[in-house]
């Protein structure tokens, strides 16, 4: 060895999103019209609204929600509106409870996450603490496949 130290820069940690000035939205979904699921959706919306508003660095954009199967994005108007707002540059970060709430079709979910990533928009998956901007695509692909 030559005695030189090669410093490998660390990726941004997930914790940095908590102290960045970001425009933050959340996406919530339930898949059946049953009353207990409606209550779950209302609680998810309330939870994420308060969660975002409590962070002094974040600006609340919206909580987008659907009562529909997560299998096909075209059948979820809240999801479609969220993606339109992303394309308009209104959102920096999307919070979701789990990757399965974001979508049930692994290929569609992975494709959407990668498109958002290209726009500089992260998806933070609460269950697992995954920030799609800092987590390798291969890990996100595995999570999407399992969900």
Measure the CA dihedral 143/116/61/22, to 10°.
90
**pLDDT confidence tier of residue 109, bands split at 50, 70 and 90:** very high
**Predicted model pTM:** 0.85
How far is the CA of 97 from the CAs of 91, 102, 118, in angstroms? Answer: 17, 8, 22
Contact (CB, 8 A) for 120 and 92: yes
DSSP tag of 146: H
Sheet holding 58-67, edge to edge: 58-67, 22-30, 93-96, 122-125, 130-131
| Per-residue model confidence as pLDDT tens digits over 29-41 | 988 766 767 788 9
Q: With 80 as the cut, is the pLDDT of residue 147 above it?
A: no
Q: With 80 as the cut, is the pLDDT of residue 66 above it?
A: yes
**What is the overall mean pLDDT for the chain?**
87
């Amino acid at each position: 060895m030559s005695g030189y130290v090669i410093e490998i820069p660390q990726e941004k940690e997930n914790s940095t999103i908590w102290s960045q000035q970001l425009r933050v939205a959340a996406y919530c979904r339930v898949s059946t019209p049953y009353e207990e699921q409606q209550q779950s959706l209302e609680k998810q919306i309330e939870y994420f609204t308060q969660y975002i508003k409590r962070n002094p660095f974040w600006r609340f954009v919206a909580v987008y929600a659907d009562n529909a199967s997560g299998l096909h994005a075209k059948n979820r108007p809240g999801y479609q509106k969220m993606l339109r707002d992303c394309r308009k540059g209104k959102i920096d970060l999307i919070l979701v409870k789990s990757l399965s709430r974001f979508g049930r079709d692994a290929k569609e979910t992975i494709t959407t996450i990668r498109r958002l990533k290209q726009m500089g928009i992260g998806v933070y998956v609460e269950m697992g603490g995954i920030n799609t901007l800092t987590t390798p695509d291969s890990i996100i692909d595995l999570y999407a496949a399992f969900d």
